[in-house]
Copies of this chain bind each other. A is one copy, B any other.
Amino acid sequence: MQKDPYSLPPEEFYEHGDSYFLPHISIDCVIFGFHDNQLKVLLLEWKDSLRWSLPGGFILKDEDIDQAATTILLKRTGLEKIHLHQFHTFGDPNRDRKKHGINPPKGSNSKSWIMNRFITIGYWALVEHSKVTPTPDAFSRSCSWCEISEVPELILDHNLIIDTALESLRLQLNEYPVGFNLLPSKFTMPELQSLYETILGDKLDRRNFQKKILSLDILTRLNERKQGGAHKAPYLYRFDKKKYQKALKQGLSFGI
Residues of A within 8 A of B (CB): 22-25, 59, 61-66, 68, 86, 88-89, 91-93, 117, 119, 121
Q: Which chain B residues border A91 with CB–CB below 8 Å? A: 59, 64-66, 68, 121
Known: A86-B88, A89-B86. A119 touches B25 (CB 8 A): yes
Q: Closest residue to A118 on the B side, CB-wise? A: B22
A and B contact pairs by CB, cutoff 8 A, 13 listed: A22-B23, A22-B119, A24-B24, A24-B25, A25-B25, A62-B93, A62-B117, A64-B91, A65-B91, A65-B119, A86-B89, A89-B89, A119-B121
A63 touches B23 (CB 8 A): no
**Identical chains bound together, number:** 2
Name the distance in Å between A1's Cβ and chain B's nearest Cβ. Answer: 15
Q: Which chain B residues border A92 with CB–CB below 8 Å? A: 64-65
Name the distance in Å between A233's Cβ and chain B's nearest Cβ. Answer: 39
9 smallest A-B Cβ distances: which pairs? A65-B91, A89-B89, A62-B93, A22-B24, A89-B121, A64-B93, A64-B92, A63-B93, A64-B91
Taken together as a complex, chains A and B put the C-alpha atoms of A64 and B157 apart, in Å, by: 14
Taken together as a complex, chains A and B put the C-alpha atoms of A92 and B62 apart, in Å, by: 9
Q: Which chain B residues border A63 with CB–CB below 8 Å? A: 93
Taken together as a complex, chains A and B put the C-alpha atoms of A66 and B93 apart, in Å, by: 10
Q: Which chain B residues border A65 with CB–CB below 8 Å? A: 89, 91-92, 119
Taken together as a complex, chains A and B put the C-alpha atoms of A91 and B92 apart, in Å, by: 19
Q: Which chain B residues border A86 with CB–CB below 8 Å? A: 88-89
Name the distance in Å between A134's Cβ and chain B's nearest Cβ. Answer: 26
Taken together as a complex, chains A and B put the C-alpha atoms of A232 and B65 apart, in Å, by: 55
Taken together as a complex, chains A and B put the C-alpha atoms of A54 and B116 apart, in Å, by: 29
With most chain B CB atoms within 10 A of its CB, the pick from A22, A63, A66, A68 is A22
Taken together as a complex, chains A and B put the C-alpha atoms of A86 and B92 apart, in Å, by: 13
Name the distance in Å between A121's Cβ and chain B's nearest Cβ. Answer: 5
With most chain B CB atoms within 10 A of its CB, the pick from A23, A86, A88, A89 is A89
Taken together as a complex, chains A and B put the C-alpha atoms of A93 and B65 apart, in Å, by: 8
Q: Which chain B residues border A93 with CB–CB below 8 Å? A: 62-64
Q: Which chain B residues border A61 with CB–CB below 8 Å? A: 117
Taken together as a complex, chains A and B put the C-alpha atoms of A121 and B88 apart, in Å, by: 10
Q: Which chain B residues border A119 with CB–CB below 8 Å? A: 22, 25, 59, 65, 121
Name the distance in Å between A59's Cβ and chain B's nearest Cβ. Answer: 7
